[in-house]
């Protein structure tokens, strides 16, 4: 989809459709009022009759509105003006784009980006509009023999800002939004692939393609190289699979040569059967999404390269399948991690932490400024936070606040959870330095505490995206989260967030 920015009057737009808002109850926005004035109260008459109350999510498509140069005018309900915030704004953009797409509008000029949102700039409104628009029209149908047909898909959107002095900032925000949307789409496309296609080798090939396309350094470590480094915790997860594990390393160098990198580590279990601790059959197909952490960090480095952010960014993806079999790791087995710490594996379905701990140890060699790992780690996080917020754990309150703020700015929220030493007691093992699980209580916290044992050399945060990385049911599919959160954090560090 093509996007552009402009400033102008709604009644003078030559467009297939002009989009304006109506607040509840029956209050026209400024752009709607300008059309109404040109149309000799045509809109206010419609509103007065009750055809458009302004209820959030409602739409009304009008044809041949007098006094305008456009083919159609789309009225979008915005809800109550006093309650119009981030969520309401994004919902309004989503409703507008969906209606334009479904009604055959080839292009649309959207004046909702002029509408004031509490504590948000015009740049924020434009950036979010691009993200929401791209997400709304996203389809994953590459394996369907007959594609879902859209009679005349939406091809172009123009977002309007109300002051010419906002155009430069809005243009930059438009480019940022498109870059983030590209990263989100990559993450979603990878995650939505079936496990027989998206293998560790496929992730490695994707990384190599990104490296070639964006001039990023790429290194793929094979099993023998991981063994030589002492990554026996990671390799223990791969033992039951016929697919070879990969450790993927990408380095984007947009900052100064002596500037320490931010390191993103993404869990890349391309299918998680649970191993010997086999998962129940219902919904096991969704375990192809256990590599959403890997998909999100690959999406983040793509977006970073597209924006040409002046930072150094390293991405590490430990990737494997977790399968049962005669060679598979057994409950009760003890392995030694790259850090030299021994781990008693009480549950082979707690495998994400086993591959991440070696990747986090490996991350120290890059002398990082900050390390953030992203993982669909625990069902316990879903119980704690549902599907709204990502679980956030950190050994630095400053980093935690920065990530929470980035999530709020991106409308991709995270919530900080405790990481107190009191919980470390639950990981005690009589036979090894630690167990890989701590029992039923505080499952997401003990998983983070496990990872914390391997991150003492640097500032670190852990994002548990088990509840936010994908949706189930009729809307089943990857969400692309937390790419927006990560990118707003990186943009802020780079001084590029307005």
Say which residues have a Cβ less than 8 Å from residue 280's Cβ, sequence separation at least 6: none
Contact 482, 296 (CB under 8 A): yes
CB 192 within 8 A of CB 477: yes
- CA distance linking residue 264 with residue 374, whole number of Å: 7
> Helix 122-137 crosses helix 86-102 at what angle (to 10 degrees)?
40
Residue 281 CB neighbours (<10 A): 7
**Dihedral over alpha carbons 54, 59, 63, 65 (to 10 degrees):** 20
Q: Which token pair is 463?
A: 């994002």
For residue 48, count CB atoms less than 10 angstroms from its CB and return exposed for 0-12, middle for 13-18, buried for 19 or more: exposed
In angstroms, what is the C-alpha Rg of the chain?
24
Helices 483-493 and 292-307 cross at an angle (nearest 10°) of: 40
Q: How far apart are CA 468 and CA 413, in angstroms?
A: 10
**Do the bridges between strand 246-253 and strand 312-322 make them parallel or antiparallel, or are there none, so unpaired?**
antiparallel
- Cis status of the peptide bond prior to 69, with omega within 30 of 0: no
How buried is 485 (Cβ within 10 angstroms: 0-12 exposed, 13-18 middle, 19+ buried)? buried
- Whether the CB-CB separation of 75 and 20 falls below 8 Å is answered with yes
State the catalytic residue, choosing from 72, 125, 302, 353.
353
Q: Do the beta carbons of residue 73 and residue 80 sit within 8 Å? A: no
Of 94, 156, 279, 308, the catalytic one is: 279
Q: What stretch of H or E contains 241?
A: none
Long-range contacts of 45-53 (CB under 8 A, 24+ apart): 46/75, 47/22, 50/26, 52/22, 52/26, 52/77, 53/22, 53/24, 53/25, 53/26, 53/77
361, 439 Cβ separation under 8 angstroms? no
Q: Catalytic annotation on 146?
A: no
Measure the CA–CA gap between 424 and 421, rounded to whole angstroms. Answer: 5
Q: Is 401 considered catalytic here?
A: no
The position carrying tokens 């083919």 is: 71
Give the residue numbers annotated as catalytic, written as ranges: 279, 353
């Amino acid at each position: 989809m093509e996007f552009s920015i402009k400033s102008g009057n709604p009644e003078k737009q030559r467009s297939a459709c002009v989009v304006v808002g109506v607040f509840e109850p029956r209050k026209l926005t400024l752009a709607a009022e300008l059309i109404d004035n040109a149309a000799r109260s045509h809109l206010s008459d419609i509103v007065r009759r009750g055809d458009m109350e302004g209820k959030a999510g409602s739409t009304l498509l009008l044809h041949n509105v007098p006094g305008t140069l456009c083919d159609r005018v789309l009225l979008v309900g915005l809800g109550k003006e006093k309650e119009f915030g981030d969520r309401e704004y994004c919902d309004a953009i989503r409703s507008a784009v969906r209606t334009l797409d479904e009604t055959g509008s080839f292009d649309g000029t959207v004046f909702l980006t002029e509408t004031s949102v509490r504590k948000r700039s015009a740049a924020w409104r434009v950036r979010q509009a691009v993200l929401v628009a791209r997400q709304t029209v996203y389809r994953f149908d590459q394996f369907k023999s007959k594609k879902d047909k859209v009679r005349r898909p939406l091809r172009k959107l123009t977002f309007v800002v109300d002051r010419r002095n906002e155009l430069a900032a809005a243009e930059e925000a438009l480019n940022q939004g498109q870059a983030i949307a590209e990263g989100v789409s990559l993450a979603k496309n990878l995650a939505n692939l079936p496990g027989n296609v998206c293998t560790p080798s496929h992730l490695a090939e994707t990384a190599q393609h990104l490296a070639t396309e964006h001039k990023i350094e790429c290194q793929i470590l094979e099993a023998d190289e991981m063994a030589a480094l002492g990554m026996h915790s990671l390799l223990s997860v791969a033992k039951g699979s016929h697919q070879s594990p990969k450790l993927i390393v990408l380095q984007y160098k947009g900052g100064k040569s002596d500037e320490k990198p931010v390191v993103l580590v993404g869990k890349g279990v391309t299918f998680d059967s649970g191993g010997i601790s086999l998962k129940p059959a219902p919904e096991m197909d969704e375990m192809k999404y256990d590599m959403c952490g890997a998909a999100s960090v690959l999406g983040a480095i793509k977006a970073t390269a597209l924006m040409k952010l002046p930072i150094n960014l390293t991405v590490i993806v430990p990737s494997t399948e977790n399968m049962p079999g005669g060679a598979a790791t057994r409950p009760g087995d003890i392995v030694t991690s790259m850090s030299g710490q021994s781990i008693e594996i009480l549950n082979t379905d707690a495998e994400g932490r086993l591959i991440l701990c070696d990747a986090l140890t490996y991350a120290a060699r890059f002398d990082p400024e900050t390390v953030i790992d992203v993982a669909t780690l625990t069902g316990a996080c879903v119980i704690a936070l549902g599907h709204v917020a990502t679980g956030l754990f950190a050994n630095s309150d400053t980093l935690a606040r920065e990530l929470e703020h980035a999530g709020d700015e991106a409308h991709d929220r995270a919530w900080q959870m405790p990481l107190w030493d009191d919980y470390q007691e639950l990981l005690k093992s009589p036979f090894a330095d630690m167990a890989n699980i701590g029992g039923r209580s505080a499952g997401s916290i003990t998983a983070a505490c496990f990872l914390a044992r391997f991150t003492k050399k640097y500032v670190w945060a852990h994002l548990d995206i088990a509840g936010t990385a994908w949706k189930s049911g009729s809307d089943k599919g990857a969400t692309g989260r937390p790419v927006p959160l990560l990118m707003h954090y990186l943009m802020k560090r780079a001084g590029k967030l307005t």
